[in-house]
Amino acid sequence: MLILAGLGNPGVEYAKTRHNLGAMAVRACADRWNFGAPRRRFASLAREGEIALPAGGSVRALILEPQTYYNESGRAVAEAMGFFRLSPGDVVVFHDEIDLAPGRVRAKTGGGAAGNNGVRSLIAQIGPDFRRVRLGVGHPGQKDAVMHHVLAPFAKSEAGWVADVLAACADALPFLAAGEDERFQAEVLRLAPAPKLDPRGRRDLEG
């Protein structure tokens, strides 16, 4: 069993915000691979299904959208891990990342929280050695603007790259399921190249 957890906040008011990009990504994966309907389990919206592997066969997976609010995400993931008796290496967490430019995607295992309170919650609950898919949303430029930035909806001008990244994560998922995280990252970037800088030398992050 593989757990794919997408971080975000519950409620329609947060559904299209940058902080919910992780939840949007796992939902796209569940839809692409025809997972079952969501059920309330493990303080989450949970969907079960199978992901085909590149070399044949498949992996059973549980997709979680924690409903605990972003900063308590670790509690939901730990509950599911305990139920299935899984280790941190069986967990992949999709989350937004302000230290990556919009549209950039990086896969890694372990590390610190880098100021992300959802990741900090996960480290506190299950340790640091889980796998991560970091989805770039860009930095607003000033530290005191970060909270507004991540809790604001994506700008209309960002809709294209957001849709491309979500589709690419879903299409490249077999590599992630096979434990080929670097190949997953390369395939996502191939399918959804990050948007180019505008003529003024910056990315359009405003609404």
**φ, ψ at 168 (rounded to 5°):** -65, -40
Report the relative pairing of strands 58-66 and 44-52 from DSSP bridges.
antiparallel
C-alpha to C-alpha distance for 64 and 48, rounded to whole angstroms: 9
Q: Which positions are catalytic?
A: 19
CA angle 21, 23, 26 (to 5 degrees): 110
Say which amino acid occupies 145: A
108 strand-pairing partners: 132
Name the strand (E) or helix (H) holding 96: strand 91-97
